[in-house]
Structure formats: structure tokens, C-alpha cells
Amino acid sequence: MIFTLGCNAKESTDSNKSSVKTEESTIVVLETTQGNIELKMFSKIAPLAVENFTTHTKNGYYDGIIFHRVIKSFMIQCGDPTGTGRGGESIWKKDFIDEFKPNVVFDRPQLLAMANRGPTTNGSQFFITTVPTPHLNGRHTIFGEVISGQDIVRKIENIKVGRGSKPLEEQKIIKAYIK
């Protein structure tokens, strides 16, 4: 099920943003150990990824899951219930296809994207970028952006990490919910 509050499209005019058409959209809140992060879903751009993410959110799948990989000046990653970076699955119990659009690119920080093991291997893991990451274009589905809590993303990004870029002090999603 895709949760959409409206579908009025408008062109972004901010010079720091992609020329992505934005729409009224579902907002997901990640209540983390550092504070709340609000994510705006791109349901017109990546409907499968949004359906997967919002359904997992409604079902409590992300509640209690840790940020298992944090790389300063790159991204924070979450969504694996095993906490190892090797687990998780989609709502369909199998991998799903990538959803790339030529005008939707990693040209700024605070973008929400699917983590994967290669082409068409999307499951439950996701990441939020902390810098522009153009080398990821055409490799990871962008399906949302941070609209509030950018400072919380930065706090998580700046946590000390150990082996495998895993935070030394557990950073987790306490609860994820649709706003």
C-alpha cells in the first residue's frame, strides 16, 4: 500500500536541489537515540521502494534496529534486523528492482536511498547521505529526503566507530512511524 497525501507536483527552484519534481508526500519519522529524523517519501519517483519502506514502518520492522554502518562524510546506514549488514528482506520476501530516474541524483546531502548488494537486490536496508555522492548515481534507488532532523543525522554521522564502520556506542531507531 502506498500512502500519499496528495499529488500536486511542483518544480524545485532551489539552486542547491535537484531538478526533481516534488509532490505532497508521506512523511516517515525515525525516532532515534539521538532525536527525530523526518523523511519525505518520493512516491512518484520510486513507488516500490516507498511502498516497501512505509509498509515495513507500519509493521514495526524498523523499531529497535541499529545503525550498523556509519561513515563520516558519506552516509549512515540502517534497516538490517540482524545488525550485521547482511540481513533484512523486502515486504515481498524477495529482492526488488531498482528505480532510477535520470533527473534524480545524489547531488546533495540528506537523501534517503536503498542499500543493496548490486543491481536489483533491494531489501530492507537503507541509508541517508551526509554529502553529495555522485558516484552512487545509477547504483542506488533514491526514494526520499530528510526534511527535519538534519542535525540528528550529523550527530549519528559523528559517532565514533570501530571495525566495519559500526558505531562503538549503539545508535538505533527506537520507533519508526508515519506522521
User: Cα separation of 105 and 54, whole Å?
Assistant: 22
Q: What are phi and psi of 3, to 5 degrees?
A: -100, 110
Q: Cite the active site residues.
A: 69, 74, 77, 116, 127, 136, 140
Give the model's confidence band at 79: pLDDT under 50 very low, under 70 low, under 90 confident, else very high.
very high
Considering the four listed CATH numbers 3.40.50.620, 2.40.100.10, 2.115.10.20, 2.60.40.2380, the one that applies to the domain covering 27-178 is 2.40.100.10
User: Cα separation of 89 and 85, whole Å?
Assistant: 12
Per domain, the residue ranges of the chain are 27-178
Other beta carbons within 10 Å of 92:
12
Smallest Cα–Cα separation from 84: which of 71, 65, 102? 65
Interval 58-65 mean pLDDT: 98
User: Cα separation of 85 and 39, whole Å?
Assistant: 22
pLDDT at 24: 65
Q: Kindly report, residue by residue over 10-55, the tens digit of the pLDDT.
A: 333 333 344 344 456 899 999 999 999 999 999 999 999 999 999 9
Q: Kindly report, residue by residue over 91-123, the tens digit of the pLDDT.
A: 999 999 999 999 999 999 999 999 999 999 999
Other beta carbons within 10 Å of 177:
14
Specify whether the CB–CB gap between 73 and 146 falls below 8 A: no
pLDDT at 25: 84
